[in-house]
Structure 1
């Protein structure tokens, strides 16, 4: 998956099934439905959360994380959260954003390719400057190690 912007969850589920060579009969038994219904889910751009939870369990992959990454990268930064701090919610509160390796690599690649500079990334995605700096240093070091290992006979 190269972009978290346009998510086609059915295609991603089908890709995971294919990668792990899971038989359609096992999937049909797990969901108690026909093969046609499974194929319909593969073609679906969206899926109910209960079904997505079942897919996540069956395929041992957190498909919800894809949507979390979309929120981190593409939801607008607003003053709503700072204005609402006085109000409490019964919903679970999360202290930090969770950045997957794919998101970090995506952001670092934007900077390394010159497509965006650090300030543009900070402004667009709301990633703290120190976090972004750590990523670029860490991934630059990792890339240098990979390149030196390739050149060593």
Structure 2
């Protein structure tokens, strides 16, 4: 999975193929035509309401793909934010299995060095080295 360049329509199409849901059922669920469904597969992004419906239909959290993108490509700011907010606060330092595998793959294929990963993604050095020790066979 390439978390840098997300084409959500293609990912949804892949999910539909794997789940083997009939196109007619999808059309009924969305109350639209086959042509409109196929157009969604071609779109790089979809509105949140549509994406939520796809998530429910395919029983897969497509929003998490975007969360993974934020974890990798928008590390927490070094600046302390001042002031209070009413928005919910989430920890960005929670790395999923997919993120760890992605990072380790970058190192094992030689696309990035360890220091490059630390600088590019803002992953703490100790965290990266713990991953390397724990998942040694994937890096070799």
Q: TM-score range by the shorter chain?
A: 0.7 to 0.9
Q: Which residue does the alignment assign to 1:150?
A: none
TM-score where L is the length of structure 2: 0.88
Matched, 1:5 2:1: no
C-alpha separation in 2, matches of 1:67 and 1:18: 21
How far off its partner does 1:73 sit? Answer: 1.9
TM-score where L is the length of structure 1: 0.81
Secondary structure, counterpart of 1:95 in structure 2: coil
Secondary structure, counterpart of 2:135 in structure 1: helix
* Equivalent residues of 2:16, 2:58 under 8 A apart: yes
Unaligned segments of structure 1, at least 5 residues: 145-153
Q: Which residue does the alignment assign to 1:17?
A: 16
Unaligned segments of structure 2, at least 5 residues: none
Moved more, 70-79 or 30-39: 70-79
Q: Which residue does the alignment assign to 1:55?
A: 54
* Number of residue equivalences: 139
Q: Return the index of the structure with the highest Cα Rg.
A: 1
* Equivalent residues of 2:107, 2:114 under 8 A apart: yes
Matched, 1:125 2:121: yes
Q: Which residue does the alignment assign to 2:28?
A: 29
Q: Which residue does the alignment assign to 1:149?
A: none
